[in-house]
Amino acid sequence: MTDTQITDNDDELHPRDPVVIRQRVLEKVAMTALEAGRLLMETGAKSSVVRAGVQKVAEGLGVRSVHVRVGFASIAVTVGDGVCTSTHMLGVGHHGVNMRINHAVREVCSLVGRGGMTVEEVLGRFKEITMTTGKHAKWFNVFAAGLACAAFGRLLGADWAAFVPTLIASMVGQYIRLMMIERHFNAFVVTAFVAFAAAVLSGIGATLLGSSMIDTSMSAAVLMLVPGVPSMNAQTDIMEGFPTLGSARFVTVTMILLFITVGVGAAHIALGGGMEDATKPFHSVLHQTFFGAVAAAGFGVLFNFGWRNLGWSAIAGGLALAVKTFCMHHGWPLEAASFGAAVAVAFAVEISYNTPFPVRRVGNAIAVAGCIPMVPGSAAAHWIIGLLEMTVQPLDQLNAMLASTTSAGLQVIFTVGAIGAGLTMVSSLFRRPDFPD
């Protein structure tokens, strides 16, 4: 006998049993609250936002107690009305980033939290959001990814001869990525395949155009794959007291970086290797500000920001790179400069709340997008590639390889940590609500 049959028979035997009626009501409330949590989780929310969203929906629908557990692959909630309790779990799909849906769901959660809505109305709102929320056109998404990666290349020191090859290669890579995701390929396989294709195309193009920064061009062409938002969420979750989910997210971020490295490493092998860059120039503040703005706006498209918020993303990215470059010109190490830039961006977002054009709806997301261009993606690739190459290095060269690889790894860890700490510290001081009033 199936669970459904047991339930149906139970209703037939006790059609007016108050306990059965209470359980049915609690079950509907729990599943509706879990649906809110699932949508938030799958569109890029951190753990505290998911918990608060589930709680707002459940309490707004009339329960008296709510206990939420947020895991990486599932969310569980126990709701009670003072007499009965009901516990349910719902699976979570791929952790993506879609800020339009994310903040539309937050608005519904706030509305439900005020009371007066039914389960059917709430579920209808969620269905409407997922079906009608707009996306940027596929061609624009592809172009934005290419432009962001080409701008990243300039930030990393690539010459102008590498700009167009990086742009075209990353556009092709993003198109392949979208096609493979639509066909539900494994996310890690997609990452490796796209990284290989983009790196090979960029390397060939940069070579044909006479670039002296072929290796940088190949690294920049795959940076649309770097999981900037998941890495920030992972650190924020741990800092806010949710180490289990944060650790799971860190593992996923590490796996993505590993598969990026597999793709880029295979591209180096396919092109014969030996592509050492010339000495990288030290660009001006204005140069870094401009390309930081371009890169942040490009990632804003990938995160499905609205048109107005793309402008805010560009401003945040420009500010981040301006502060970082200024500090490094004055002798600050990369990690300290990145921390200072993250603090500046976070403060700018908070200050915007008192202007005629606040970023009230997506404030923290704008700050994260602005800091994405500071994530040392090429250093992460160098770190993992170095670990792989250490297994085949002669003993007399092993110490030098170990020192270089360890330095790159520590640079990645401390820089990402500094960015996350700067954003989280400022947001915790101001304590702005994650949900609209």
* pLDDT tier for residue 134 given thresholds of 50, 70 and 90: confident
CA distance 165 to 370: 25
Domain end position, chosen among 132, 150, 181: 132
Question: What is the arithmetic mean of pLDDT over 182-209?
Answer: 93
In a domain, 150, yes or no: no
Question: Could you give the C-alpha distances from 381 to 206, 227, 259, 411, in angstroms and in order?
Answer: 19, 13, 10, 12
User: Which pLDDT score, from 0 to 100, does residue 257 have?
Assistant: 84
Going by pLDDT thresholds of 50, 70 and 90, the confidence category of residue 88 is very high
d(Cα 76, Cα 83) in Å, to the nearest integer?
Answer: 20
* Mean pLDDT, rounded, for 112-122: 91
In a domain, 233, yes or no: no
Categorize the per-residue pLDDT at 292 as very low, low, confident or very high, splitting at 50, 70 and 90: very high
Q: Residue 240, SS3?
A: coil
The domain total for the chain is 2
Taking each helix axis as running N to C, give the angle between helix 228-239 and helix 395-430, from 0 to 180 degrees, rounded to the nearest 10.
70
Q: Which of 110, 132, 154 is the last residue of a domain?
A: 132
Select from 132, 167, 196 the last residue of a domain. Answer: 132
Residue 3 has pLDDT above 50, yes or no: no
- Sheet harboring 74-80: ordered strands across? 65-70, 74-80, 85-91
- Please tell me the predicted confidence (pLDDT) of residue 280: 65
* Cross-strand partners of 90: 75
Residue 373: give the domain boundaries. Answer: 282-437
Q: Is residue 392 part of a domain?
A: yes
Within-domain flag for 370 = yes
**DSSP 8-state symbol, 224:** G
Residue 235 domain flag = no
Of the spans 159-168, 276-285, 348-357, 402-411, which averages the highest pLDDT?
159-168
Mean pLDDT over residues 231-242, rounded?
Answer: 86
The reply to whether 276 falls in a domain is no
- The reply to whether 180 falls in a domain is no
Average pLDDT over residues 186-212: 93
| 95 assigned to some structural domain | yes
